[in-house]
Amino acid sequence: MFVEFSSVLRATMLGVQLGMTLALVAAGLTLIFGMLDVINFAHGSLYMMGAYLGVTVSAQFGSFWLALLIAPLAVGVIGAVIEVFGLRALYGRNPLYHILLTFGLAVMIQGLVVEIWGGQSLRIEAPASLAGTVQIGPVEYPVYWLFVLAVSTLLIAAVWLMIDRSDLGILMRASAHDTEMVDALGIDVSKVFTGVFVFGAVLAGVAGVLLGASRSVNPGMGFGVIIETFVIVVIGGLGSFKGAVYAALAVGLVTAYGALIAPSVTDIFLFTMMAVVLMIRPNGLFGATEAA
271 scored as a contact of other proteins (CB under 8 A): yes
Exactly one of 66, 73, 99, 162 binds other proteins (CB under 8 A); that residue is 99
Span near other proteins by CB under 8 A; candidates 71-79, 82-90, 146-154, 244-252: 82-90
* DSSP assignments along 53-68, one per residue: HHHHHHHHHS-HHHHH
C-beta closer to other proteins: residue 107 or 122: 107
Give yes or no for a contact between 274 and 231, defined as CB atoms under 8 angstroms apart.
yes
From residue 9, alpha-carbon distances to 21, 46, 148, 211, 263 in Å are 19, 32, 17, 21, 17
From residue 221, alpha-carbon distances to 67, 155, 182, 208, 231 in Å are 19, 22, 37, 10, 16
| 224-243 residues near other proteins, rule: CB under 8 A | 227, 230-231, 234, 238-239
Mark 62-81 with x for binding to other proteins (rule: CB under 8 A) and - for no binding: --------------------
Cα–Cα distance for residue pair 3/12, rounded to 1 Å: 13
Exactly one of 131, 161, 181, 275 binds other proteins (CB under 8 A); that residue is 275
CA angle 79, 81, 83 (to 5 degrees): 70
Cα–Cα distance for residue pair 23/178, rounded to 1 Å: 26
The answer for residues whose C-beta is within 8 angstroms of residue 248's C-beta and 6 or more apart is 19, 20, 22, 23, 26, 232, 236
Exactly one of 104, 132, 137, 138 binds other proteins (CB under 8 A); that residue is 104
Nearest-Å Rg of the Cα atoms of the chain is 19
117 scored as a contact of other proteins (CB under 8 A): no
290 scored as a contact of other proteins (CB under 8 A): yes
| 188-207 residues near other proteins, rule: CB under 8 A | 190
Exactly one of 62, 95, 118, 119 binds other proteins (CB under 8 A); that residue is 95
List residues binding other proteins (CB under 8 A).
Answer: 37, 39, 84-86, 88-91, 93-97, 99-101, 103-112, 114-115, 190, 223, 227, 230-231, 234, 238-239, 264-265, 267-268, 271-272, 274-275, 278-279, 282-284, 287-292
